[in-house]
Structure 1
């Protein structure tokens, strides 16, 4: 049996739940379904279960614009975020549209029929759906595999090796010597949490990252919520945080040397002049060449000051039966090694997509407003910001998709396709030097250097363009005659 919906949304994480809300609120005449491969909603926040898992953005911007975050902590832990998503789906009636355990296995577009055909696996049985518009909200990384370098001698290690993406409750670290390999957001989250029960934790990094401490609670936001209506307080805090983040981002990009000096000085204030901040907390790159790492309440620095954790900057020569031998010749003993070595990017959830029988390769296309692809009809992806909260962009993307759907209905058109109207210079989709981005460069799409093909990474500009701007700019609305009518 084939089920038909006006819109199929793939993924029931933050992006998919947000998409469902806007479809229901702005395009109530359109039927839709959300196909989720996992056994419950939540996406990232259901997948990651490692100790201390938390947001690296404040919840006033990571939360939805339509549902206030009312908890005291602005930097929330994973269970609190998952509960927020659950409550949002239930309260807005979005859970009725979600099909859990429906892992999408393929998607194909037919211009002759102006239809997508989507297949999904449900417990070994194939389910088939058709839709007029396909909205991919499946995130940007591989859920089945994290990035893991080929470490020499890993098989010789006598303890346990675990990647944070696949943490299970039986991972025992109490009273153990633990080494966390990595220096990104996951590593700086894990280290202070593991240090609470471990005998000692070593954060082993090849090179340092910029690390910024901030309070886990936003006193202004909590005061405002006690003073004003929750929605008004939330909106004010959200915009304040957006503007403050944009200001400091632009400041750091404009004055990288001074910004670097200040960020490093902030670490020195935490650890003292005697600590070797130059080696362990002074990156070689400029601020925002990679995403900054957030540590709430300076918990990482507290663990270091108390001697429960240390940072070692070195390379790994090989694993040994009892730990690690480093490039400097030093050996670190370990009972447990946690490889916080990053994600593996996988666009579209790894789903094979074809357009009129030809395989769709994102790298061969330009992105339109950061969400659609040149010459691909009725298709959008949700991809958040690299310099701000993911949800800020995913919210706007979902809103814009409903604008397109409403325009198609009003104009009596079945097809909408971004088309290049003139020459455009190409640029990388993401201007980031992070390893996980560079490793995936050959599979990522390209962006243009002029609108509407440019990815701004700027919420204020995107609000104007996606919420209030025109929708006809280099966008083709069409109404091809269906193949079955031609045959008749």
Structure 2
């Protein structure tokens, strides 16, 4: 395959990659670009995961793109609906034809002499290698390993005579009708799997080492449906989106400021849901709210399955697998025909690519992130990395807008290169995922880039603050070098302190 050059190369055709491409079409219409996607279909996460009940754990009015309203009243959408939404968005903005499927990017090297990126990609079907060059590179690969999820080595695992299935690679032929199932884990995947499988299985047990904070959400938003009857579609979407952003932000901030109060609130809601039919010890975490992500229970389905006797929770540690199930350290044995280790993700940056700059590898754990969009010291490159405390796509929109603003400024000024420089040595030990201490984040501490102690190097996980910084503050802020020269900071482009907040909630 021949060498191909583009103004912009996007790696990944998931929610982030398609969103970035749409912003390019809207805001940088003269740019040539391509999306390199390893899989044979777009959708990323929503194409990969096929386990029963797969759905969003963020409301779709904030998970949907800012520029393309999510219609209808469905709050928590199933995986297939989300993939359809991403595909329709790509087609509507004419970006689907720019996707090169089946290409796994193996190397990415920046050449200071040529002032461009050179990528090699392998066609996994034919083994053929393609070479691409680009003036600007944008990573939209998410943050986990698509090849395998995380699974501990369980003692006696080979003794189990049933079937062990990881949710990340769900087999199409798995029939769990009338079977006893044990789901190991208490995160979003387990919370989704247990009530869905309980509809057909003989019984489903969720085995957890420690509880997770849960919050029940309705699958349909009746208020939004009412608004859609009387208001234009886009207006109803904006109002619903603003409300949901405000509520999510309030819950997060209140949890950080008043953890005891929020703990009582969350546990009180669950206590009413289970109505005395379950031991509250299974729902009482030993950490504060939002030290780890909240898990969403759709329509209270988990609690309903437990009250009906179709599902149960065991809070214990595994001693070993046996021929017929799992023996716990308490001595209890859980019988199982199928065991599902919903034990989390294996974090992987840039899809496993190890970028180099003039032949020197970029070691992510040694790097600090600029505005959570660019890697310090890496020229002409951006990274779309969504939020962990609110919908991922909210960050996709503002980060993509920022990168488009940056490229447009470079074109206007005739700049060929841009790089963020941390001359103040602001690197901290916190990763870009901030204060979350979930197991999958702790396991990946040696792979994640760091955030700084202050300024544009510190990640706030604050959508309203990011709107102000990424959408309105000047690009030339004194931290970026253009063509090897640092430009002085310019005055703010924002016209009034209310504009960023209004724009964040109701659109630009």
* TM-score, normalised with respect to structure 2: 0.93
Aligned residue runs from structure 1 range 356-375, under 5 A: 356-375=358-377
Question: Which residue of structure 2 aligns with residue 125 of structure 1?
Answer: 128
Matches of 2:128 and 2:232 in 1, distance apart? 48
Matches of 2:277 and 2:199 in 1, distance apart? 24
Aligned residue runs from structure 1 range 291-310, under 5 A: 291-310=293-312
- Whether contact under 8 Å (1:259, 1:287) holds in the other structure is yes
Displacement of 1:309? 0.1
Question: Which residue of structure 2 aligns with residue 68 of structure 1?
Answer: 69
Q: Which of 451, 459, 462 matches 2:463?
A: 459
- Whether contact under 8 Å (2:25, 2:93) holds in the other structure is no
Question: Which residue of structure 2 aligns with residue 483 of structure 1?
Answer: none
In structure 2, the residue corresponding to 1:74 is in which secondary structure? coil
Matches of 2:373 and 2:465 in 1, distance apart? 15
Cα deviation digits, residues 274-302 of structure 1 (max 9, x gap): 6310x200000100000000011000000
Displacement of 1:479? 6.4
**Structure 2 gap segments, 5+ residues each:** 486-508
Aligned residue runs from structure 1 range 27-426, under 5 A: 27-122=28-123, 123=125, 124-273=127-276, 275-277=278-280, 279-424=281-426, 426=428
Matches of 2:278 and 2:96 in 1, distance apart? 51
In structure 2, the residue corresponding to 1:452 is in which secondary structure? helix
Say yes or no: does 1:475 pair with 2:476: no
Matches of 2:453 and 2:465 in 1, distance apart? 15
RMSD: 1.1
- Whether contact under 8 Å (1:108, 1:356) holds in the other structure is yes
- Whether contact under 8 Å (1:413, 1:479) holds in the other structure is no
- Whether contact under 8 Å (2:73, 2:225) holds in the other structure is yes
Matches of 1:38 and 1:9 in 2, distance apart? 14
Q: Number of paired residues?
A: 479
In structure 1, the residue corresponding to 2:455 is in which secondary structure? coil
Displacement of 1:422? 2.4
Matches of 2:248 and 2:384 in 1, distance apart? 21
- Whether contact under 8 Å (2:319, 2:327) holds in the other structure is yes
**Structure 1 gap segments, 5+ residues each:** 481-488
Displacement of 1:71? 2.9
* TM-score, normalised with respect to structure 1: 0.97
Cα deviation digits, residues 122-168 of structure 1 (max 9, x gap): 13100110001000001100000100001011111000000000002
